[in-house]
């Protein structure tokens, strides 16, 4: 039976992070010849080359990327073990790595974190990014769950599954000076400045299709992926914004934004995306069974 040498795993991980044996040698206080020999032994044990040389830099092979992913989780878990013992909290805190698509309203992130902390004594880590990047991280088991406004393509991301959890109505909002556009809508918004999500967002395409179908053409002045940025620009009267109703309740209550009109048929979909794993995360397992995950959004 083969045994994993954790010293070798540490050496490999440090080389990967530092980008070469020389810098890793300084970091670990281990001679370069010895470190290089240990790496060769580790590769021989695994039966795979973990690096390939590009110029003066070592670059991870496909096998090396897989090993690094597991190494990160192993050492992170070890650090968590030491922290739990140091805190005197002997009931294990579950770590949950959550990917939030950057164009989704922040209320989604708040809701999911609240629900997770209610379920378990867990520690939640949130990463924001584009959907394809998050799905890749999910498939590589670097994330436990991804909250997105789209499903991963089955042919591109195998082993991932999705569950639809909510549809949020999208409406057009603007600062006080745009409130008069309610009258005569939608023709009233023709030529008006508007802030839209970038082309990576499904909402962007749905909104533009609505404009096309209703034969109106606002003037795009800013493209911003982050909903918080869109809200700030809208409240600053830079232009109109098309966002989910749930995302702007705070600014509506403060009279910093005003609703122009609902964009009938345009909704922000929210999907809970997870991956098949041999050892599933218990928090994620429970999340997948909750019927009204975002009932308070």
Q: Where in the chain is the domain with CATH 3.40.190.10?
A: 90-165+271-287, 167-269
DSSP β-bridge partners for residue 241: 173, 195
As assigned by CATH, the class of the 90-165+271-287 domain is alpha beta
pLDDT of residue 90: 47
CA distance 285 to 290: 9
Dist CA 277 CA 221 (whole Å): 44
pLDDT at 297: 46
The sign of the torsion formed by the CA atoms of 144, 148, 151, 155 equals negative
Alpha-carbon distance of 280 to 145, in angstroms, equals: 11
Tabulate helix, strand, coil % of the chain (nearest 5). Answer: 45, 25, 30
Taking only the tens place, the pLDDT of each residue in 78-135 is 776 676 566 555 456 678 889 998 888 877 778 878 888 887 778 888 998 888 889 9
Q: What is the pLDDT of residue 286?
A: 80
Q: Quick one: 241 exposed, middle or buried, by C-beta within 10 A (0-12, 13-18, 19+)?
A: buried
Q: Give the separation between CA 101 and CA 290, rounded to whole angstroms.
A: 21
Yes or no: say if 115 and 287 are a contact pair by the CB < 8 Å rule: yes
Structure letter (DSSP) for residue 151: P
Q: What is the structure's pLDDT at 296?
A: 47
DSSP notation for 171-188? EEEE-GGGGGGGTTTTGG
| pLDDT given for residue 293 in this prediction | 65
Cα(234)–Cα(239) distance, integer angstroms: 6
Per the confidence metrics, is the pTM higher than 0.75? no
Please list the ranges in the chain whose pLDDT falls under 50: 1, 90, 296-297
Domain made up of 6-70: CATH architecture = Orthogonal Bundle (1.10)
Q: Measured between alpha carbons, how far is 117 from 124 in angstroms, rounded to an integer?
A: 8
Q: In the CATH scheme, what architecture does the domain 167-269 have? A: 3-Layer(aba) Sandwich (3.40)
Which secondary structure element, helix H or strand E, spans residue 49, and what is its range?
Answer: none
């Amino acid at each position: 039976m083969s045994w994993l040498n954790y010293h070798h795993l540490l050496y490999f991980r440090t080389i990967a992070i530092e980008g070469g044996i020389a810098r890793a040698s300084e970091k670990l206080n281990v001679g370069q010849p010895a470190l290089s020999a240990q790496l060769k032994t580790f590769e021989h044990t695994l039966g795979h080359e973990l690096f390939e040389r590009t110029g003066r830099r070592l670059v991870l092979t496909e096998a090396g990327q897989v090993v690094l992913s597991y190494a990160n989780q192993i050492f992170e878990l070890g650090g968590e073990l030491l922290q739990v013992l140091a805190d005197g909290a002997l009931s294990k805190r579950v770590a949950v790595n959550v990917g939030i698509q950057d164009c989704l309203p922040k209320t989604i992130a708040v809701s999911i974190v609240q629900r997770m902390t209610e379920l378990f004594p867990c520690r939640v880590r949130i990463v924001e990014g584009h959907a394809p990047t998050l799905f890749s991280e999910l498939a590589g088991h670097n994330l436990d769950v991804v909250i997105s406004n789209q499903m991963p393509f089955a042919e591109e991301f195998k082993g991932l599954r999705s569950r639809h959890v909510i549809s949020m109505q999208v409406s057009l909002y603007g600062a006080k000076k745009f409130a008069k556009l309610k009258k005569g809508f939608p023709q009233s918004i023709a030529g008006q400045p508007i802030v839209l999500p970038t082309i990576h967002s499904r909402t962007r395409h749905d909104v533009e299709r609505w404009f096309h179908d209703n034969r109106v053409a606002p003037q795009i002045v800013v493209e911003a992926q982050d909903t918080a940025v869109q809200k700030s620009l809208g409240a600053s009267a830079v232009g109109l914004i098309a966002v989910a109703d749930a995302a702007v309740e705070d600014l509506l209550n403060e009279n910093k934004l005003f609703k122009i009109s609902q964009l009938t048929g345009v909704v922000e979909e929210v999907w809970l995306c997870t991956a098949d794993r041999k050892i599933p995360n218990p928090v994620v397992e429970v999340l997948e069974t909750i019927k009204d995950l975002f009932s308070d959004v």
